[in-house]
């Protein structure tokens, strides 16, 4: 500890030396778990003292019983704990606050209420606690210098609220194609309403863990209700379209009773029709005529300019179930060829629109004249087996074909990225009844395509 103080004082001496030269007038203190510093006017800082307090500063938690209306708890501060703060967090949120510093900072910012006495068999009531939902009770202890110190945790689960009747939604998969499927829903008389949401198999739980803190979901049913298409107590059908071919989906059906109490969530599995076979998947690449095409001006998106344009067509063979493409400058590709190939032959880290292509398609790219570029294709068959990434090298002609006057032709642009017609901004695409999808993904110094 003495060594740590010595190092810190040495750092302060360095700050003092810099002060004499630059005259800073702020003292910034950066706390772990907080992206913003605590800022003080230097002229108002009288002194800085380093203190040491023996013993743990915390408030221990013991949960004795749980009902829908209240919890019976004992909260016991340690001898060095002068006050403490208390919160009940949904488990999915508490899991995102991965260390004590982040959790302490969150509690200190979110509540101003403090307690100075121990509670034995105290009654804790919180009307915001949802039935059948997992929570974590957390305390944050403070010492006599008002220092936020240790946190203590106690997980618990609220009991289920009795359902009114037996709400249940029967389902029937009535149609499946390469890109859509239709399900009919038949709620019984005890269903006041229901929601259904579809996502790739195994994705929904990951999305819940990631997005629940952002959207304020306390349990899985709330997410299904918000993202899903809504039904009442009458039979109805719903069609999910723009789905990926040859993909297994899970459809979660969340029903509730007249008190809006959730029934157990049901899961339906459905798979879209796929392409390809079990043989070797291959992609044939064909270059179109290099020409001057109209593109939005970077200075004014409402205006167009003529720029050198290279059409490229991708044609999968009959064994290809899905594939990915990338077009990059030859000089950029040569810096890390194995990295580019590895990044291409992989599944998306999260649901991403346009990650794969399934049928033949053509796209256009901005590439300067007399420029070497690389086209990469990574196909896989219906068994999920990737073929070796094919790397094809090309060079654009010295001049693009055009009927325009040369003076009206800005032919060169500076960039390490090859721009595609189909590139969109990186946003989250949310459609009723579906897991949110990202509609853009950028490779390292190269671009994939979106539909």
pLDDT tens digits along 180-209: 999 999 999 999 999 999 999 988 888 898
- The tens digit of pLDDT for each residue in 148-183 reads 999 999 999 999 999 999 999 999 999 999 999 999
Q: Which helix (H) or strand (E) holds 330?
A: helix 330-333
For residue 52, the model assigns a pLDDT of: 77
Q: What is the pLDDT of residues 51-67, one digit of tens each?
A: 777 889 999 999 999 99
Residue ranges per structural domain of the chain: 2-44, 59-157, 169-271, 283-447
DSSP string computed for 140-194 = EEE-TT--EEEEEEEEEEPPPPPPSS---EEEEEEEE-SS-EEEEEEE-TT-SEE
Fold of 169-271: Immunoglobulin-like (2.60.40)
Least confident of 13-27, 106-120, 225-239, 356-370: 13-27
Q: What is the DSSP letter of 244?
A: P
Place of tokens 């032959």: 345
345: number of Cβ within 10 Å: 17
| pLDDT value at residue 309 | 93
CATH architecture type of domain 59-157: Sandwich (2.60)
pLDDT the model gives residue 425: 38
Which pLDDT score, from 0 to 100, does residue 434 have? 65
Global confidence as pTM:
0.74
Residue 259 has pLDDT above 90, yes or no: yes
Same topology, domains 169-271 and 283-447? Answer is yes
Band of the pLDDT at 342, cuts 50, 70, 90? very high
List, for residues 323-337, the tens digit of each pLDDT value. 999 999 999 999 999
pLDDT of residue 446: 31
Whether residue 236 is predicted with pLDDT greater than 70 in this model: the reply is yes
pLDDT at 419: 66
Residue 239 phi, psi (nearest 5): -110, 125
**pLDDT at residue 13, as a whole number:** 47
pLDDT (0 to 100) of residue 297 = 84
Question: Exposed e or buried b for every residue in 60-92, given b needs 16+ CB within 10 A?
Answer: bbeeeebeeeebbbebbbbebbbbbbbbbbbbb
CA 134, CA 355: separation in Å to the nearest integer?
35
Task: Please compute the mean of the pLDDT values over residues 242-252 and round it to a whole number.
Answer: 94
Mean pLDDT of 353-378: 93
Read off the pLDDT band of 363 (50, 70, 90).
very high
Look at residue 17 and tell me whether its pLDDT is greater than 80.
no
Q: Which residue has the higher pLDDT, 34 or 28?
A: 28
Q: What is the pLDDT of residue 408?
A: 41
- Would you state the structure tokens that stand for residue 427, as one six-digit string? 């946003």
Q: pLDDT digit string (tens) for 382-439?
A: 999 999 999 999 999 999 986 544 434 444 444 556 667 654 434 444 455 665 555 4
Q: Return d(Cα 30, Cα 22) in angstroms, integer.
A: 21
Per DSSP, which regions of 201-303 are E strands? 229-231, 236-240, 248-256, 266-271, 283-287, 291-296
pLDDT at 41: 83
Write the pLDDT tens digit of every residue in 300-316. 878 888 999 999 999 99
pLDDT of residue 406: 43
| pLDDT band at residue 115 under the 50/70/90 scheme | very high
For residue 395 the two structure tokens come to 């060079």
User: What integer pLDDT is reported at residue 86 of this predicted model?
Assistant: 95
Q: Round the average pLDDT of the chain to a whole number and report it.
A: 85
Domain 283-447 belongs to what topology?
Immunoglobulin-like (2.60.40)
pLDDT over 80 at 6, yes or no = no
Confidence at residue 439, expressed as pLDDT on a 0 to 100 scale: 47
* The predicted structure's pLDDT at residue 441: 36
Residue 225 has pLDDT above 50, yes or no: yes
């Amino acid at each position: 500890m003495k060594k740590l103080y010595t190092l810190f004082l040495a750092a302060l001496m360095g700050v003092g030396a810099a002060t004499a030269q630059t005259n800073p007038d702020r003292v910034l203190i950066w706390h772990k778990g907080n992206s913003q510093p605590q800022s003080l006017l230097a002229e108002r800082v009288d002194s800085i003292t380093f203190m040491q307090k023996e013993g743990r500063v915390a408030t221990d938690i013991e949960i004795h019983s749980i009902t829908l209306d209240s919890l019976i708890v004992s909260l016991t501060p340690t001898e060095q704990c002068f006050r403490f703060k208390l919160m009940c967090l949904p488990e999915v949120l508490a899991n995102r606050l991965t260390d004590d510093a982040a959790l302490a900072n969150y509690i200190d910012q979110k509540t101003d209420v403090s307690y100075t006495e121990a509670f034995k068999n105290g009654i804790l009531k919180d009307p915001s606690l949802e039935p059948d939902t997992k929570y974590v009770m957390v305390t944050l202890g403070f010492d006599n210098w008002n220092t936020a110190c240790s946190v203590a945790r106690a997980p618990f689960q609220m009991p289920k609220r009795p359902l009114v009747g037996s709400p249940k939604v029967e389902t029937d998969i009535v149609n499946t194609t390469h890109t859509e499927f239709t399900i009919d829903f038949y709620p019984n008389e005890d269903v006041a309403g229901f929601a259904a949401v579809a996502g790739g198999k195994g994705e929904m739980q990951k999305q819940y863990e990631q997005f629940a803190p952002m959207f304020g979901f306390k349990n899985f049913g709330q997410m299904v209700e918000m993202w899903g298409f809504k039904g009442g107590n009458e039979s109805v059908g719903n069609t999910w379209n723009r789905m990926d071919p040859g993909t297994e989906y899970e459809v979660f059906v969340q029903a509730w009773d007249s008190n809006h109490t959730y029934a157990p969530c049901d899961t339906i599995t459905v798979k879209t029709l796929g392409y390809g076979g079990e043989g070797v998947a291959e992609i044939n690449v064909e270059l179109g005529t290099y020409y001057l095409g109209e593109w939005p001006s970077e200075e004014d998106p409402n205006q167009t300019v003529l720029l050198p344009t290279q059409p490229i067509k991708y044609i999968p063979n009959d064994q290809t179930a899905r594939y990915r493409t990338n077009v990059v400058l030859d000089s950029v590709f040569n810096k890390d060829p194995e990295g580019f190939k590895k990044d291409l032959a992989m599944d998306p880290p999260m649901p991403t629109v346009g990650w794969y292509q399934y049928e033949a398609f053509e796209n256009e790219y901005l590439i300067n004249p007399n420029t070497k570029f690389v086209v990469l294709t990574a196909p896989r068959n219906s068994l999920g087996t990737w073929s070796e990434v094919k790397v094809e090298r090309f060079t654009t002609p010295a001049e693009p074909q055009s009927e325009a006057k040369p003076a009206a032709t800005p032919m060169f642009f500076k960039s390490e990225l090859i721009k595609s017609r189909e590139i969109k901004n990186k946003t989250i695409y949310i459609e009723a009844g579906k897991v949110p999808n990202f509609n853009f993904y950028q490779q390292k110094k190269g671009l994939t395509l979106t539909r």
